[in-house]
Chains A and B, each alone.
Chain A
């Protein structure tokens, strides 16, 4: 079946540090890949997505590249801010499937 594995959290960084959150997936075919972010007390928001191999999704300084050969979609940001503190979810959706398959989430804490 489909699955998404994320690195355990929490990840604690100082402001302006470089961020990487690892995500790997298991799925047949070529699923679409997503990163969602959940700020405290809120629902999930789409952060970025990629729909085919070698695509790079980007938004708000975050980036992730769809790597078919390593089945990975790692999230990166060059300089994090305190306002980036949130829980980040990696997810996939197989073509023709309605539902998303989520990873367990990674909590990011950015200290001033």
Chain B
């Protein structure tokens, strides 16, 4: 099992450019998440998807869009990158319990380090 994979590992963009960060999981999890990690601030939730075909905003969604392409894949798109979006981006996934809520353990990918000049 590869777990959660992310591509690319590193990316440098100019202000105004667009790009898509890819995430895939092979654990058959229903829920997937995108976080950003900034120095001294821990991780903050950007968007999440409770199941295929659904997405919801997290704490810091402005400037981002997401697509839950299928059960395995959850992509994050920056339409017009800004320097404030320089960060490390983590994708995660978790199981959904029988009552529809996620169980506690989230599994994280290795991250994408994005720099916007």
Q: Which residue of B lies closest to A6 (CB)?
A: B42
| Given A98-B31, A99-B33, A44 and B42 contact (CB-CB distance below 8 Å) | no
- Once bound together, how far apart are the Cα atoms of A16 and B78, in whole Å? 45
* B111-A98 in contact (CB<8A): no
Q: What band does the interface of chain B fall in when counting residues whose beta carbon is under 8 Å from A?
A: 20 to 34
Query: Is A49 close to B, CB under 8 A?
Result: yes
Complex formed: what's the CA distance from A105 to B33 in Å? 19
Chain A interface residue count: which class?
20 to 34
Say which residue of A95, A100, A104 sits within 8 Å of B41 (CB atoms): A104
Which single member of B41, B101, B105 contacts A98 (CB below 8 Å)?
A: B101
Q: Are A42 and B48 in contact (CB under 8 A)?
A: no
Q: Does A89 lie within 8 Å of B42, measured CB to CB?
A: yes
Task: Say if the beta carbon of B108 comes within 8 Å of chain A.
Answer: yes
Point out the residue from B45, B101, B111 that lies within 8 Å of A43, measured CB to CB. B111
Question: Which residues of chain B have C-beta atoms less than 8 A from A105's C-beta?
Answer: 42
CA distance A89 to B111 in the complex (A): 16
Q: How far in angstroms is the closest Cβ of chain B from A4? A: 7
* Chain A residue nearest in CB terms to B39: A104
Of A42, A46, A98, A104, the contact of B110 (CB 8 Å cutoff): A42
Asked whether, in the complex, the Cβ of B105 is within 8 Å of the Cβ of A49, the reply is: yes
Interface string of A17-33 (1 = CB under 8 A from B): 00000000000000010
